[in-house]
Amino acid sequence: MPVATVAPARRAAYDVLLAEAATRGPFDVTAATAAGFASLQERDRALAYELVVGTIKRRNSLDRVIAAFSSAASKRLPPEVRESLRLGAFQVLYLDRVPAHAAVFEAVELCKGQGRRTGSFVNAVLRRVAREGRAELARLSAGDSTEALAVRESHPDWLVALWSAELGRPVAEALMAADNLPAERCVRVNRLRATVAEAQAALAAGGITARPAATAGEQPATPDALLIDGGPLESSAAFADGLVTPQSRASQLVALVAAGALEAGGAGRVADLCAAPGGKASQLAALLPAARIDAVDDDPRRAAALRANLDRLGAADRVAVVERDVLELGADPALQGAYEAVLLDAPCSGLGTLASRADLRWRRRPVDVARLAALQERLLAGAGALVAPSGSLTYSVCTLTRAETLEVIERFLGRPAAGGGAPPNAASWELDDLGAAMPRYRHPANGAFVQTLPSRDATSGFFIARLRRVT
């Protein structure tokens, strides 16, 4: 049977997996699948997406099971063979609705171009996975060791050890289990262009159902959030016309915290630092119609994407794009103390977004956390220099590591923190008590901060702090 007879969904998924394997930097699964799956029927598109995301997320579990039935380690195999084995094993081990014989047969067909012996090898390994794989996975996953949990929830050993040490084993296990679930599909209604009801109607016209994130009778922390289901958002008129934009509830919460620091009416000068692609900047424009908002990003390509997004959302005339480095901005005497509110959504390890960024757990290394925490400290110092007396500084990251959250703030405030000294900021700043206003998200180590957990809140994992300059 020629390769062309492989089911369209599996062929498309395989091609995307090969592209991911060949990519050294971050891989945009959403963009790759949007392009690679455009010709598929809706049912095939959904299956192909599940195959791609699941195969990438479950890589550690799959590789360990495959290794039990193969004389060759997965990493040493040609990419075409390795990805066909992973794709076939994922279907056999995790998708009950896919017949094992179909998964094995098509995995062999996908790599037939590598030679007859290769096809025989893939067939032999996957047939054993079909017969014995689930028992082997259960054996490898049994117990409470770091290695067992890394196989069970398919995370790298170092991250299992880090989460267990910092969050405690029960929270760590729940968090990693949530990382393997489908990410929330959430949009923010753009109040510059539509009401919630208008956005829902426009989405429905494009075949996308949308419901408020809050249940009936519940006061929503993010009132403009809609959870969606259906076809690709980016091909809908509601998206193209700027009525909605994809943004997790946790991300929306960040802008709400930053905007909430201003007095009623929202007048004043506001800076959104590291602002691309513009979700929070456009949200601030909707929340603070009387404010003067600067969206700062020093990368020309990111700044171009920021401008395009602001234009789509009708916020281009409300937000000025500033192409300057944050540290350079903070050192400019003309801008020091110039802003009533500053938001720094800092570059981070992104470890709170593993449900939506399937490949990130395999691309991050322990050294990245320390490197990014050092950058965050410098950026926070630069951001702080921009804040006017009595003004606010909101700091957020989409990760949960102690080094990038608590310790960054501790050092900025001049309080003791493991591993180094601190600048003399203690007399100049105080913490706003965010936990008092949002007790659901209160941080367990310091109630003035808030933290969203994917396992508890079914959204991205974010840390948010808001500081007030008192002198």
What is the residue-wise DSSP string for 182-196? PPP-EEEE-TTT--H
Query: How do the residues of the chain divide into helix, strand and coil, expressed in percent and rounded to 5?
Result: 50, 15, 35
State the DSSP code for 74. Answer: G
> Tokens for 398?
């989409």
Q: How far apart are CA 126 and CA 264, in angstroms?
A: 63
Angle (deg, nearest 10), helices 366-385 and 406-413: 40
Tell me whether residue 398 is one of the annotated catalytic residues.
yes
**Nearest Cα to 467, choosing from 417, 403, 402, 411?**
411
Largest separation between any pair of C-alpha atoms in the chain:
76
Q: Hey, which residues does 188 pair with through a beta bridge?
A: 225, 245
Q: How far apart are CA 213 and CA 406, in angstroms?
A: 28
Residue 77 in contact with residue 62, Cβ under 8 Å? no
> Tokens for 90?
């994922």
Q: Hey, which residues does 450 pair with through a beta bridge?
A: 442, 464
Residues that are catalytic = 398
